[in-house]
Amino acid sequence: MNKTAQSVWDNCLSFIKDNVQEQAYKTWFEPIQSVDLNENALSIQVPSKFFYEWLEEHYVKLLKVALTKELGPNAKLLYKIKMENPYGNKLPFTEQIPSNNRQVIKTQEVDVPIAQKNPELKNPFIIPGIRNINIDSQLNSNYSFDNFLEGDSNRLARSAGLAVANKPGGTSFNPLLIFGGVGLGKTHLAHAIGVEIKDKFPEKTVLYISAEIFTQQYIDSVKKNTRNDFIHFYQLIDVLIIDDVQFLSGKSGTQDVFFHIFNHLHQNGKQVILTSDKAPVDMQDIEQRLLSRFKWGLSAELHQPDFETRISILKNILFRDGVEMPEEIIEYVAKNIKSNVRELEGAIISLIAQSSFNKREVTIDLAKQVVEKFVKNVKREISIDYIQKIVSEYFQLDIETLQSKTRKRHVVQARQLAMFFAKKFTKNSLANIGSQIGDRDHATVLHACKTVDNLVTTDKQFRKFVDDINKKLSM
Ligand code: ADP
Ligand code: MG
């Protein structure tokens, strides 16, 4: 018998190759090197501790079978974990790994040549010279729960955020995914959660990062050959906040690495907070396995704030800046800027500036001018005729067909959509809407609105129609 570590491992590999998918083989087995064979114990070197855990978690049976075939029933597998040496010389060193009670394949403790359990990893966020790993959280303390005003539009997301802040990793909201349109407060809320956690649990490592920067860091790490450092770094975080995860769409390498980081954090009871401009179901070009992880916890939507919330947001800003403004001006602004808190803030700040710098009286006229600048699309009154025109054009029908008695499915849907939008965008009664759209009664309109509501939640294609038309009508 002339077995070497290499030959034993090669034989194991060819067995493994036949039994796992190609991609998994490439990812998890190709990077492994055989190191040593001592009687029936084979040592292999894996790139990271995470790697080792992953193998133990997913491939222990397969490894056991392969190794038993080669080395008999007393086969043992020893892992050595390769790490970048923090002291600068390029020699890899091994880290002690916890022993593990699996039957045949036992991981034994291996020597730690360099007495350093928690090597400091090279990372942009680490403040040099501080002994414990100390990471700048990248949080903006101006974004707090106190100044994130509560309303129906954000109650769920806000309270879930508070729950998470009180017990990071300890609620079922893990991950917490906050989603909603632009300027509705996702970034603010994400920071607020982090700020609150830092306040309550100063020892926790919190990190806020945009998905864009995360992606750049990852790409850099691949270029510089420090991918493992990158992964290790993120695996040290207790509370990881990633803003705008939709940015990861189409970026499969980054998604892949995030998937592993996510799993590691989640398995270790760490908290993950994500924001996105879309609900998971609507995210495009994000791997299924990642989407399914996103759905493990809670997805909470930020909606457009209602009138009262808009008023309180405005008053809060005025109060903060010590400015008084007539009630009717505040109401005017709140009435006319509906869909975006950022625009709401912009308008009031601009009004404050106008009044204080130019010593101008803030009049409704001035408010009008300012609001028009901020609301990209000044709302004109939308009429039922206009809605019918837009809907017919969208489906390439003429208005007569839309209004006709035909039961063709696509025409019926178009008609129902016209009714739905008429209800949504005008103040007409159901009866009135019915009589203008092909002379139907109010029950038909009511039915149409319900049908649309249903289809929007069940039919993705249909939802796209609604979104598209909605956009056109809001232009
Ligand atoms: P998003 O990340 O969803 O695009 P932001 O978090 O950047 O939105 O919010 C835009 C602006 O609106 C920020 O200045 C934020 O402070 C403010 N804002 C949003 N929601 C609220 C709220 N509920 N109370 C107070 N300010 C809010
Ligand atoms: Mg944002």
> Which of ligand 1's atoms lies nearest the C-alpha of 182?
4
CA 197–ligand 2 middle distance (angstroms): 19
Q: 274: exposed, middle or buried (C-beta count within 10 Å: 0-12, 13-18, 19+)?
A: buried
Rounded to whole angstroms, how far apart are CA atoms 17 and 11?
10
**Which of 148, 162, 188 is the pocket-test mutation for ligand 1 (most atoms within 8 Å of CB)?**
188
pLDDT, tens digit, for every residue of 365-383?
Answer: 889 888 888 776 545 568 8
Q: Report the mean per-residue pLDDT for the chain.
A: 84
pLDDT at position 170 is 93
pLDDT at position 465 is 92
Q: Residues 69-88: what's their mean pLDDT?
A: 70
> Which of ligand 1's atoms lies nearest the C-alpha of 148?
24
pLDDT at position 115 is 28
Which string of b and e fits 230-257 if b means at least 16 CB within 10 Å? bbbbbbbbbbbbbbbbbbbbebeebbeb
Between the alpha carbon of residue 384 and those of residues 381, 428, 437, 444, 474, the distances in Å are 10, 9, 8, 16, 14
pLDDT over 90, % of the chain: 59
pLDDT for 106 beyond 60 = no
Identify the CA nearest to 230 among candidates 247, 242, 216: 216
pLDDT for 89 beyond 70 = no
pLDDT, tens digit, for every residue of 216-239?
Answer: 999 999 999 999 989 999 998 999
pLDDT for 104 beyond 60 = no
pLDDT at position 400 is 93
pLDDT, tens digit, for every residue of 262-290?
Answer: 999 999 999 999 999 989 988 888 999 99
Amino acid at site 235:
Q
Complete domains list, the chain, with CATH: 5-112 (3.30.300.180), 155-302 (3.40.50.300), 307-377 (1.10.8.60), 384-474 (1.10.1750.10)
pLDDT for 98 beyond 50 = no
Global pTM reads 0.58
CA 299–ligand 1 middle distance (angstroms): 18
pLDDT at position 59 is 83
pLDDT, tens digit, for every residue of 163-175?
Answer: 999 999 999 999 9
Q: CB count, 10 Å around CB of 442?
A: 14
Using a 6 Å cutoff on CB, does residue 301 contact ligand 1? no
